[in-house]
Amino acid sequence: MITATALHGCSLIDGEWVAGKNGEITGFDPRTNASLNPSYSLANSAQLRAATTSAKRAFESYRLTTPEVRADFLDSIADNIDALSGEIVQRASLETGLGTTRLTGEVARTSNQLRLFAETVRSGQFHRVRIERGPRIDLRQRQVPLGPVAVFGASNFPVAFSTAGGDTASALAAGCPVVFKAHNAHPGTAELVGQAVRGAVEKHEFDAGVFNLVYGRGVEIGQELAADPNITAIGFTGSRQGGLALSQTAFSRPVPVPVFAEMSATNPVFVFPGALADLDASSSLAEAFTASVTGSSGQLCTKPGLVFIPRGVVGDAFVALVAAKFKETTGQTMLTQGIAQAWQRGVDNLAAQPSVKILAQGTPGDGENAPGPVVFESDVQALLNNVVLQEEIFGAASLVVRYDSPDQLHQVANSLEGQLTATIHASQDDFQEVSKLIPLLEDLAGRVLYGGWPTGVEVGHTVIHGGPYPATSNAQSTSVGTLAIERFMRPVSYQTFPAELLPDPVSEANKWAVPREIDR
């Protein structure tokens, strides 16, 4: 277990806190826009290369760690994060404006995620071992880690999708060292978690290059990191613009590498008449919808940004309830001044479109950057004719879209961009129509929900937090849950190997007790 040291204000390169030589930045308190101490010096190209070189060197030994050793390491990171939880929550709240209750939950989610990944490493399923002993030829297959992974965290989850969040945890579980590009909106939080990871690296006497934490601007050092020949894969959560820019760099390298970028989604919700038939049910739905849009100031990649409501009496009643609920809301501080300004531009742009009206707006919150949540209303035809209505507004805003018939929902499902989630609300009376929509929603999204709301992502073995472009750059994977480990691995097969040379998971002895498919 470790205790926090004073913030160093610089990058962690090959195990040392190293002053950067490329200017500096500070974090900001978004409640006041005041800058925060300490300032963070930014790494230059040579310092970045030192980080990636150490990661490449560390890969040689880290890839060979046994499941028990690697799992214990992940548990140690989790223990260290828990030990620093108080400091992490305070600093993250200062840098992001998020409340301490939400952040306490996020820290616990992060350490629990690491422990779940540790369990998965011990169980060995992710090696995906398949053995065919003959009769013609002996062939054995398993997955091996890719190599050093560059990770870019998001602004909206300063812990769970950041320094030791899902991408870092899955890369380390796979056997890949990580070079993490700290998010400039929460530099102190990134460092505190970096201290937790460094403490675990030291405790297990690993090569220090297993984990590097680099400060710099995304457009400079982030781009260089994506282009660095020592980097073999990229994990990213954030804007479509950032994810695409990194993808282009990674794909145009002399040796292109995979990019797993989670970017943007509007997370459509399809409400059938049966779900609104009863006024109590309709009222609960309106309340839950409002909470889902406004929680964390709407800054969640799974926020429901489009809700399809039938025309007619029951739909009108629901819309009136939603308007009343939104009027009661109060804005919460957004993550940065820039993100609040981007939200305002998105809201103004949507309000200016023909056939779109503001249904209701809440009251701004105290301090800076806390605009009142907004709900708009329009109809399917307008949505189909105008892509602006389909664009994500990152923050507390949503569009209620009225439809005339279930056929229109099919048209919508066929025309929307790829999504992280698609949600159905219905009753048994609607099932015939719902069943026709389901295949379209499978094509549309990585996670299809019946009932409930898409915000609140379970971390487990079966969750998919991914989906077709632009939800992600690669729909064949997930950025949450243990399946994420396999993104940073690739299959290798061993043909007619002498028994003594076979790696553990595919050997007859199977000392790691990895689950295997044999001679099927």
Q: Residues with catalytic annotation?
A: 262, 301
Give the residue carrying structure tokens 């609960």.
284
Least distance from C-beta 235 to ligand NAP, angstroms? 11
Q: Are 475 and 469 in contact (CB under 8 A)?
A: yes
Give the residue carrying structure tokens 């969640």.
300
Q: Are 449 and 99 in contact (CB under 8 A)?
A: no
Query: Looking at 117-125, 198-206, 217-225, 286-294, which segment touches ligand NAP (CB under 6 A)?
Result: 217-225
Buried b (16+ CB within 10 A) or exposed e, 450-472: eeebbbebebeeebbbbbbbbbb
Judged by CB under 6 A, does residue 154 bind ligand NAP? Answer: yes
Q: Which is nearer to ligand NAP, 145 or 242 (CB)?
A: 242
Among 26, 223, 353, 510, binds ligand NAP (CB under 6 A): 223
> In this structure, what token pair is assigned to residue 386?
């105008």
Q: Which is nearer to ligand NAP, 223 or 353 (CB)?
A: 223
Least distance from C-beta 190 to ligand NAP, angstroms? 9
Judged by CB under 6 A, does residue 125 bind ligand NAP? Answer: no
How many Å apart are CA 494 and CA 72, to the nearest integer? 29
How many Å apart are CA 23 and CA 112, to the nearest integer? 36
Extended strands (E) in 84-225: 129-132, 139-145, 149-152, 178-181, 211-214
Strand, helix or coil for residue 147: coil
Q: Which is nearer to ligand NAP, 337 or 355 (CB)?
A: 337
Least distance from C-beta 107 to ligand NAP, angstroms? 18
Judged by CB under 6 A, does residue 516 bind ligand NAP? Answer: no
Query: Looking at 47-55, 57-65, 154-162, 502-510, which segment touches ligand NAP (CB under 6 A)?
Result: 154-162
Q: Which is nearer to ligand NAP, 109 or 122 (CB)?
A: 109
Least distance from C-beta 184 to ligand NAP, angstroms? 3
Q: By CB under 6 A, what part of segment 174-193 binds ligand NAP?
A: 181, 183-184
> 129-132 and 139-145: which strand pairing?
antiparallel
Among 217, 311, 410, 490, binds ligand NAP (CB under 6 A): 217
Among 209, 222, 305, 466, binds ligand NAP (CB under 6 A): 222
Query: Looking at 89-97, 118-126, 237-245, 435-443, which segment touches ligand NAP (CB under 6 A)?
Result: 237-245
Phi, psi of 21 (to 5 degrees): -120, 30
How many Å apart are CA 76 and CA 5, to the nearest integer? 18
Among 41, 143, 155, 162, binds ligand NAP (CB under 6 A): 155
Q: Among positive and negative, which fits the CA dihedral 304, 310, 315, 320? A: positive
Least distance from C-beta 29 to ligand NAP, angstroms? 17
Q: By CB under 6 A, what part of segment 284-303 binds ligand NAP?
A: 301
Preceding amide of 470 cis, omega within 30: yes
Judged by CB under 6 A, does residue 218 bind ligand NAP? Answer: yes
Among 175, 242, 258, 315, binds ligand NAP (CB under 6 A): 242
Judged by CB under 6 A, does residue 269 bind ligand NAP? Answer: no
Judged by CB under 6 A, does residue 313 bind ligand NAP? Answer: no
Least distance from C-beta 431 to ligand NAP, angstroms? 33
- Helix, strand, coil: what percent of the chain each, to 5? 45, 20, 35
Least distance from C-beta 459 to ligand NAP, angstroms? 16
Judged by CB under 6 A, does residue 325 bind ligand NAP? Answer: no
Q: Which is nearer to ligand NAP, 218 or 315 (CB)?
A: 218
Site string for ligand NAP, 358-397 (x = CB under 6 A): ----------------------------------x-x---
How many Å apart are CA 62 and CA 58, to the nearest integer? 6
Q: Are 278 and 425 in contact (CB under 8 A)?
A: no
How many Å apart are CA 385 and CA 158, to the nearest integer? 37
Least distance from C-beta 239 to ligand NAP, angstroms? 3
Rg (CA), the chain: 24
Number of chain residues interacting with ligand NAP (CB under 6 A): 24
How many Å apart are CA 5 and CA 2, to the nearest integer? 9
Least distance from C-beta 394 to ligand NAP, angstroms? 3
- Beta bridge partners, 24, equal 41
Least distance from C-beta 225 to ligand NAP, angstroms? 8
Q: What is the 3-state secondary structure (H, E, C) of 365-420?
A: CCCCCCCCCEEEEEEHHHHHHCHHHHCCCCCCEEEEEEECCHHHHHHHHHHCCCEE
Site string for ligand NAP, 339-358 (x = CB under 6 A): x--x----------------
Judged by CB under 6 A, does residue 411 bind ligand NAP? Answer: no
Site string for ligand NAP, 77-116 (x = CB under 6 A): ----------------------------------------
Q: Are 260 and 487 in contact (CB under 8 A)?
A: yes
> In this structure, what token pair is assigned to residue 333?
């501080």
Binding stretches for ligand NAP (CB under 6 A): 152, 154-156, 181, 183-184, 217-219, 222-223, 237-239, 242, 245-246, 264, 301, 339, 342, 392, 394
